[in-house]
Structure 1
Amino acid sequence: MQWLYLAIAVIFEIAVAIAAGKAQGFKDRGWTIATLVSGAIGTYFLSRALLTFNVGVGYAIWTSVSGIGITVLGVLLFGQRLNWQKALGIVIIIAGVVGLQLSGAA
């Protein structure tokens, strides 16, 4: 169940990043509310996941998978460019997450 909680937290963290980008420095009320609500929901599910995960490992997985998701969506939805340095960074992050999982610290 902790993996489901972590996956939900990742989805809402990605939503936070997208909404915060659209909120224009919290000038747009609708996107500001979306940012804050998504953040609260994501934090709730992260806290549920961290009841089982080692805090450092769970947090590292949450932030890294969210970062990858945000980068990929930026390319797919917002026309941002994916150069070889970003792609290499994603590969390194994935390797790090796999390494954390293999450590058995979850």
Structure 2
Amino acid sequence: MQWLYLAIAVVFEITVAIAAGKAEGFKNRGWTATTLASGAIGTYFLSRALLTFDVGVGYAIWTSVAGIGITVLGAVLFGQRLDWRKALGIAVIIAGVVGLQLSGAA
């Protein structure tokens, strides 16, 4: 169940990043509300996941996977550049997350 909680937390963290970018420095009320609500919901589910995960491992996985999601969605939805360096960084992050999982941390 902790993996489901962590996955939900990741989705809401990605939503926070996208909504914060659209909030225009919190001038746009709708996107600001989305940012704040998504942050609260994501934090709730992260805290649920951290009941089972080691805090450092759970947080590292959460931020890493969300960062990958934000980078990929930025390229797909907003035309942001995804070059080989970013792809290499994503591969290194994935290797790190797999390494954390294989360590038996959760």
> TM-score, normalization: structure 1?
0.99
**Partner Cα separation in structure 2 for residue 93 and residue 11 of structure 1:** 17
**Partner Cα separation in structure 1 for residue 31 and residue 61 of structure 2:** 26
What's 2:37 paired with? Answer: 37
**Partner Cα separation in structure 2 for residue 102 and residue 49 of structure 1:** 18
**Partner Cα separation in structure 2 for residue 97 and residue 12 of structure 1:** 19
Shift of residue 105 of structure 1? 1.1
**Partner Cα separation in structure 2 for residue 50 and residue 26 of structure 1:** 30
**Partner Cα separation in structure 2 for residue 38 and residue 66 of structure 1:** 13
What's 1:51 paired with? Answer: 51
> TM-score, normalization: structure 2?
0.99
**Partner Cα separation in structure 2 for residue 90 and residue 64 of structure 1:** 9
Shift of residue 41 of structure 1? 0.1
Unmatched segments (≥5 aa) in structure 1: none
Letter in 2 for 1:19: A
Question: Which portions of structure 1, spanning 4 or more consecutive aligned residues, are displaced by more than 4 angstroms?
Answer: none
Unmatched segments (≥5 aa) in structure 2: none
**Partner Cα separation in structure 1 for residue 85 and residue 27 of structure 2:** 33
Cα distance per residue 1:28-75 (max 9 Å; x no partner): 111000000000000000000000000000000000000000000001
* Pairing 1:62–2:84 present: no
Identity %: 86
